[in-house]
Amino acid sequence: MNALRLFRAPGILTAWADIFTGYLLLRIAGIGQSSPTPLAFLLAATACLHLSGMIWNDLFDLKFDAKHMPDRPLPSGVVSVTHAFILGAILMIAGILISMVAGMYSFVAASALAALILSYHAGAKRIEAVGAIIYGCNRGVTLVLGMSVHSYISLIPQVPEIWLPTVLIAIYAAAFAVLLRQRGIVATGSVTSDEIETKDPRTDFEELPTMLEGEDETMRRNRAITAILQQRREKETQKPQHQHVSPEVEFRLSKFACSIIILCPLSAILLFPSNALSLSIFLALLALLGNSAFDVYTQSSPFSIRHFTGIAILGIVLLDAGIVASYGNKPFDKEVLASVLLILALGVPAWLLGKRTTV
pLDDT at 205: 36
pLDDT at 229: 57
pLDDT at 13: 86
Amino acid identity, residue 27?
R
Contact between 100 and 33 (Cβ < 8 Å): no
CA torsion through residues 265, 143, 42, 57, sign:
negative
Residue ranges of the chain with pLDDT lower than 70?
1-6, 9, 32-34, 151-159, 161, 182-249, 300, 331, 350-359
pLDDT at 248: 67
3-class SS of residue 282: helix
Contacts of 81 (CB under 8 A, 6+ apart): 59, 62, 74
pLDDT at 286: 93
pLDDT digits (tens, 9 = 90+) for 260-315: 999 999 999 998 888 889 999 999 999 999 888 888 888 767 788 888 888 888 88
pLDDT at 113: 95
C-alpha 129: how far from its chain's center?
A: 15
Amino acid identity, residue 182?
Q
Domains and CATH numbers, the chain: 2-188+241-354 (1.10.357.140)
> Within the chain, where are the H helices?
9-29, 37-60, 62-68, 73-76, 81-102, 104-122, 128-147, 160-187, 193-197, 217-235, 247-271, 276-299, 302-326, 334-354
pLDDT at 48: 94
pLDDT at 266: 94
The pTM of the whole model exceeds 0.95 = no
